[in-house]
């Protein structure tokens, strides 16, 4: 196990308290520098603003703790999951971790294109099933080595659903986008070479590397998504996305359209911004999205609308991110490697070393009796303890002399059991292993929290982040979006905020075919009616909506007169049908619903935080504040 040396104790002073919970100057500086790494942001005004935000944050967390949200089973499960990921790099074998981190960085610079043939092996496969799958893989490999066509055999034998149409081609990928044994085989092969039989959690694979190229790094994009559903009218959805695209081309702000139309609830209020991703991240699920994102070259450039299995998308490039120097991402990459299967494959060896370090002593006879209590009810997720009463308080094992009893293990199983076809004996062994690791994690978590400032900061940040999300969802987000009566009442009270000048209710029809548009102009000039076929030929036909000045460059270019008008810009030709003029005044709720909901949520949050600040008044230490200002603003 990697020897974790205690970090030098940072000199820290109390900055403020909320509900008797202290926040130190060191915690504040850690969070501030994480959010504002650039020195030009280290001004007194920004530091004071961030202090106010952090006090509000801690006040919300205090309320979540007061309500007991940190004691629920859901919170404990989510927090343990995050904690396990954060802890793993700190308890890994250092030499192994260093080697795997360097290996991962070297592979980041290369993208490989691989085809494979999969022979599925389920987790609960019997020895007979395992042998049968292996023999099938062996027979196909022999044919490949004799020169049979890989694509043909993939279509015929691969049990991956897409193989019939893609010939087993997985496209390009890079490090940490495939399970580690698969990645290891892919990067070990020469172009055109056939792999030995490779076993992963999915089954047995035969790989062929068809190409290698230098990696293209990552891209960061924003997107607008119109989600497809079983009841969706595909034609209307397509018209709607092209309507949005035309509004973008007409100059309407991206963020406004994203907030109003995007069906991606997690990003619609933040401009549709997604986390950066590399080649292969979406190749299996949404290849069109990945291909489009990497085809855009200039930041701010917007893609044409395109379709995927999820619906219709428009993508805007925010930035391209080249692969940074190793020193710059070493720590981040080390954490990712620490949470990846490549390190888990060596976990058993590390696990045994951890046992020695933590002085693990097991009562074999008690363990044997307890694990034998597993029966068919465990497979149904309805198992109950049926052992002798004197077994209940017996110790299963000790860590540094502290005992863990049968009753604690039984409580763990009762919480974790689920419906499965796995044999009861396998399940009991699995639960026992998980229980032991959980207790070891608890001990090591206490050690790391005392000795390692970086870990202490991270674990606190994640813990409080989960609590914040939980309470914000209950108090602000759900109320704001589901309280239709509250939204309407807010709108009624603040109607003047949604006042607009004279507007037009209009439809916009667009095409890039100038000849077709001239034909339409001629028909309109003659007073002829446009046929349904004419209307179908337009590239997009927007639904009628109300436009205010500045919302559409297309609308702004034509006279505000009822009737049919024509205009063009940037290679697109538009016919605009103005149905009527809307007098200056207050917009209807339906026109501005998304804006009203957002404003209502902001108000709910402000009112709620104001009450919380009275309930949990913050006490700021002037000495600590001076220290923070001095240390962050110094040249």
For 578-593, the DSSP string reads EEEEEPSEEPPGGGSH
Other C-beta atoms lying within 10 Å of the C-beta of residue 72:
12
Token pair for 36: 């504002």
Q: Tens of pLDDT along 167-211?
A: 999 988 999 889 999 999 999 999 999 999 999 989 999 999 999
- Give me the mean pLDDT over the 1-20 stretch: 68
Q: Where does 126-194 show beta strands of DSSP type E?
A: 169-173
For the question of whether the overall pTM of this predicted structure is more than 0.75, the answer is no
For 33-101, the DSSP string reads HHH--SGGG--HHHHHHHHHHHHHHHHHHHHHHHTTGGGSHHHHHHHHHHHHHHHHHHHS-HHHHHHHH
- Helix axis angle, 484-493 to 593-615, nearest 10°: 90
Kindly give, in sequence order, each residue whose CB lies less than 8 Å from that of residue 472, ignoring residues fewer than 6 positions away. 60, 605
* pLDDT surpassing 80 at residue 406: yes
CA dihedral for 534, 538, 542, 546, sign (positive or negative) = negative
284 Rama class: left (phi>0) / alpha (psi -120 to 50) / beta? alpha
* pLDDT surpassing 80 at residue 348: no
H-helix or E-strand spanning residue 114: strand 110-120
Q: Tens of pLDDT along 104-114?
A: 999 999 999 99
- Give me the mean pLDDT over the 59-81 stretch: 94
Distances from the Cα of 156 to the Cαs of 138, 153, 162, 164, in angstroms? 15, 5, 12, 8
Kindly give, in sequence order, each residue whose CB lies less than 8 Å from that of residue 585, ignoring residues fewer than 6 positions away. 499, 500
Domains and CATH numbers, the chain: 1-66+456-498+601-635 (no CATH), 70-103+325-357 (no CATH), 110-214 (3.10.50.40), 218-321 (3.10.50.40), 361-450 (no CATH), 502-583 (3.10.50)
What is the three-class DSSP state of 3?
A: coil
* Cα–Cα dist 174/172, whole Å: 7
- Give me the mean pLDDT over the 93-113 stretch: 88
Residue that wins the pLDDT comparison between 16 and 216: 16
The predicted pLDDT at position 5 comes to: 47
* pLDDT surpassing 80 at residue 401: yes
Token pair for 555: 């609308």
Q: Tens of pLDDT along 486-527?
A: 999 999 999 999 998 999 999 999 998 888 999 999 999 998
The predicted pLDDT at position 2 comes to: 42
Distances from the Cα of 36 to the Cαs of 28, 135, 280, 500, in angstroms? 12, 57, 31, 38
- With tokens 């720590």, the residue in question is 331
Q: If pLDDT is split at 50, 70 and 90, which confidence band does 347 have?
A: low
- Give me the mean pLDDT over the 520-542 stretch: 89
- Name the DSSP class of 562: S
Q: If pLDDT is split at 50, 70 and 90, which confidence band does 67 have?
A: very high
* Cα–Cα dist 176/195, whole Å: 19
With helix as H, strand as E and coil as C, how does 595-620 read?
HHHHHHHHHHHHHHHHHHHHHCCCEE
Rg (CA), the chain: 31
Q: Where does 237-391 show beta strands of DSSP type E?
A: 277-278, 306-308, 311-321, 361-362
Q: If pLDDT is split at 50, 70 and 90, which confidence band does 84 have?
A: confident
Percent of the chain with pLDDT over 70: 97
291 Rama class: left (phi>0) / alpha (psi -120 to 50) / beta? alpha
The predicted pLDDT at position 283 comes to: 63
**Range name among 343-347, 409-413, 515-519 with the lowest pLDDT average:** 343-347
* Cα–Cα dist 305/145, whole Å: 44
- Give me the mean pLDDT over the 370-395 stretch: 95
* pLDDT surpassing 80 at residue 4: no
């Amino acid at each position: 196990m990697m020897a974790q040396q205690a970090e030098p104790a940072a000199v820290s002073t109390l900055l403020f308290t909320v509900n008797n919970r202290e926040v130190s100057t060191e915690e504040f500086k850690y969070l501030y520098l994480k959010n504002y790494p650039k020195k030009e942001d280290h001004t007194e005004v920004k530091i004071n603003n961030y202090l106010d935000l952090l006090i509000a944050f801690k006040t919300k967390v205090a309320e979540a703790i007061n309500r007991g949200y940190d004691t629920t089973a859901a919170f404990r499960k989510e927090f343990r999951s995050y904690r396990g990921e954060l802890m793993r790099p700190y308890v890994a074998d250092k030499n192994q971790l260093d080697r795997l981190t360097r290996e991962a960085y070297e592979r980041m610079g290369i993208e490989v294109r691989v085809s494979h043939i999969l022979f599925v092996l389920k987790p609960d496969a019997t020895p007979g099933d395992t042998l049968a799958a292996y023999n099938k893989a062996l027979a196909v490999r022999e044919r490949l080595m004799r020169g049979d066509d890989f694509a043909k055999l993939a279509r015929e034998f691969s049990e991956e659903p897409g193989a019939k149409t893609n010939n087993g081609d997985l496209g390009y990928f890079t490090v940490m986008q495939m399970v580690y044994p698969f990645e290891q085989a892919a990067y070990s092969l020469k172009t055109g070479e056939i792999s030995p039989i490779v076993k992963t959690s999915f089954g047995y694979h035969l790989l062929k590397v068809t190409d290698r190229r230098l990696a293209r790094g990552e891209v960061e994009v924003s997107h607008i998504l119109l989600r497809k559903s079983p009841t969706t009218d595909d034609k209307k959805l397509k018209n709607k996305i092209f309507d949005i695209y035309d509004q973008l081309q007409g100059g309407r702000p991206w963020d406004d359209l994203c907030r109003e139309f995007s069906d991606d609830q997690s990003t619609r209020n933040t401009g549709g911004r997604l986390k950066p991703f590399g080649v292969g991240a979406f190749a299996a699920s949404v290849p069109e999205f990945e291909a489009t994102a990497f085809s855009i070259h200039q930041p701010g450039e917007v893609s044409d609308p395109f379709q995927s299995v999820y619906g219709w998308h428009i993508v805007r490039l925010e930035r391209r991110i080249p692969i940074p120097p190793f020193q710059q991402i070493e720590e981040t990459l080390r954490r990712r490697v620490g949470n990846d299967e490549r390190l888990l494959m060596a976990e058993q060896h590390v696990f045994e070393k951890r046992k020695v370090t933590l002085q693990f002593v097991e009562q074999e006879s008690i363990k044997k009796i307890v694990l034998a209590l597993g029966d068919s009810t465990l497979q149904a997720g309805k198992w109950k303890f049926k052992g002798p009463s004197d077994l209940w308080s017996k110790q299963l094992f000790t860590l540094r002399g502290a005992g863990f009893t049968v009753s604690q293990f039984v409580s763990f199983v009762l919480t974790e059991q689920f419906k499965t076809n796995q044999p009861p004996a396998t399940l009991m062994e699995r639960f026992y292993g998980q229980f032991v690791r959980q207790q070891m994690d608890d001990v090591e978590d206490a050690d790391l929290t005392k000795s390692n400032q970086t870990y202490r900061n991270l674990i606190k940040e994640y813990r409080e982040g989960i609590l914040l999300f939980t309470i914000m969802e209950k108090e602000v987000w759900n109320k704001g979006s589901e309280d239709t009566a509250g939204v309407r009442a807010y709108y009624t009270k603040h109607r003047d905020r949604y006042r607009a000048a004279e507007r037009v209710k209009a439809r916009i029809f667009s095409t890039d075919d100038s000849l077709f548009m001239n034909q339409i102009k001629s028909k309109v000039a003659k007073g002829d009616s446009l046929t349904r076929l004419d209307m179908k030929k337009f590239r997009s036909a927007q639904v009628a909506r109300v436009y205010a000045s500045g919302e559409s460059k297309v609308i702004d270019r034509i006279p505000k007169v009822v009737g049919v008008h024509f205009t063009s810009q940037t290679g697109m030709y538009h016919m605009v049908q103005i149905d009527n003029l809307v007098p200056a005044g207050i917009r209807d709720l339906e026109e501005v619903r998304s804006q009203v909901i957002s404003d209502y949520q902001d108000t709910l949050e402000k009112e709620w935080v104001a009450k919380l600040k009275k309930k949990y008044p913050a006490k700021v230490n002037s000495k600590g504040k001076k220290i923070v200002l001095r240390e962050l603003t110094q040249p």
